[in-house]
Structure 1
Amino acid sequence: MNDPLAAHRALVAKVDAFEGAVRARRDASMACRAGCSACCHAELSVCDVEAALVREGLAVLDDAARAHIAERVDVHDGRCVMLDHEGRCAIYDARPLVCRTQGLPLRYPDGVIPEAAIMARGKGANGGALTWCPLNFQGDDHAPRAEDVLDAERVDAMLALSNREHGGDPSRRTSLRALAREITAELNEGNALC
């Protein structure tokens, strides 16, 4: 059986392996833990291939988790619609790449990230601008090292390729809130049948 998300799953596995290696080396320098949702105060949108993975993640949630997300669809409190009461991601295993890379030191080409958007920053050894969660890598003795830095431009390019392979429209973005609304519609349909 051919998995239409195979290329994207491979990319996710590579990013997760990189994050795991950084955590293994630098865990004491990283504050990111379950329940830390400092980077989850955003309204995110995803490309088609990531939307497909999020839909898969939503489909396997239990009824209580799905109902909680449905309750949050119209709550605009600055927190991601996918967060549960404890600040944990309800779709953690299916979360988008931008969520998987948060906290890591990310290298972007100079001038790509607006100055106001960068909370912790540095200059990459190989050029480019570095950004990372200000809760991580605090102090000179904990600053990110070259082997800790993920090339965000390369990840973005690989994501675009997996989206194209999936048949995604490169100009279409779907908000996580819109994906959560799909749950609300499904729950309402289910209630109407009862």
Structure 2
Amino acid sequence: MTEHMLDTLLKNYTDLITRVDEHIQRLSQVHKDHLACKKGCDECCRHLSLFPVEAFALSRAFSRLDAPCRETILEQAKQTDRACPLLVDHVCMVYEARPIICRTHGYPLYMEKEGRAMVDFCPKNFKGVKKLDRADMLDLDRMNTLLTAVNNHFIACFEDGLPDRIPVDQALELYQLL
């Protein structure tokens, strides 16, 4: 598969990422004095499983790292199943290609559970903020619905199918298989 073909397959995903990033950037500007999340803060970074579309995007970014960095990450992936192997000295090595869960973690997520509205965010963030506007929140159900649709479109392009979820450590080398 060529770079261009993969770009085409990932277009819906990159469009969704752009929309999520625009929301997070706006929120970061409005609440910049109330956010603890920053480079080096990695308490929420765990070894995750991803939708195939996210795994391929992540693998592509991983393949573009220099060889020593890739080797470090692969070695870390063998040593733990809890911490994200993409962290080197508390910094994500593929930050620009991080999955949606990583992009949104710590920010206000709106969801409904049993008909009851709920908001979740990192307890280190938004200290002193009395009330968040609904516009500040990402609708988790809507975002998951969009991500699922994007993923379903992506996997439909593979004749042999793909697994439902792919752990980060297994995602790292997917790009080489194309």
- TM exceeds 0.5? yes
1:110 aligns to what? 113
Mapped partners of 1:57, 1:148: distance in 2: 29
Deviation at 1:140, TM superposition (A): 4.5
Give, as a single letter, the amino acid of the residue that structure 2 aligns with 1:178: Q
Judging changes above 3 Å, is the alpha-carbon distance between structure 1 residues 161 and 43 closer, same or farther for their aligned structure 2 residues? same
Match of 1:133 among 122, 126, 131: 122
2:79 aligns to what? 75
TM-score, with structure 1 as normaliser: 0.78
| RMSD, aligned α-carbons | 2.2
Match of 2:23 among 4, 18, 21: 18
| Residue 160 of structure 1 pairs with residue 163 of structure 2 | no
| Residue 62 of structure 1 pairs with residue 66 of structure 2 | yes
Mapped partners of 1:129, 1:170: distance in 2: 33
Moved segments of 4+, more than 6 Å: none
| Residue 144 of structure 1 pairs with residue 144 of structure 2 | no
1:93 aligns to what? 96
Give, as a single letter, the amino acid of the residue that structure 1 aligns with 2:144: D
Deviation at 1:177, TM superposition (A): 1.7
Mapped partners of 2:16, 2:149: distance in 1: 10
- Provide structure 1 residue ranges, at least 5 long, that are not aligned to the other structure: 113-126, 187-194
TM-score, with structure 2 as normaliser: 0.85
Mapped partners of 1:144, 1:160: distance in 2: 27
SS at match of 1:31: coil
Q: How many pairs are equivalent?
A: 166
> Do 2:111 and 2:140's aligned partners in 1 also have CA atoms closer than 8 Å?
yes
1:189 aligns to what? none
Match of 1:175 among 158, 167, 171: 167
1:6 aligns to what? 11
Mapped partners of 1:18, 1:170: distance in 2: 30
Give, as a single letter, the amino acid of the residue that structure 2 aligns with 1:49: V
Mapped partners of 1:138, 1:13: distance in 2: 27
- Provide structure 2 residue ranges, at least 5 long, that are not aligned to the other structure: none
**Higher relative contact order, chain-length normalized (CA < 8 Å, sep 6+):** 2
Mapped partners of 2:87, 2:143: distance in 1: 24
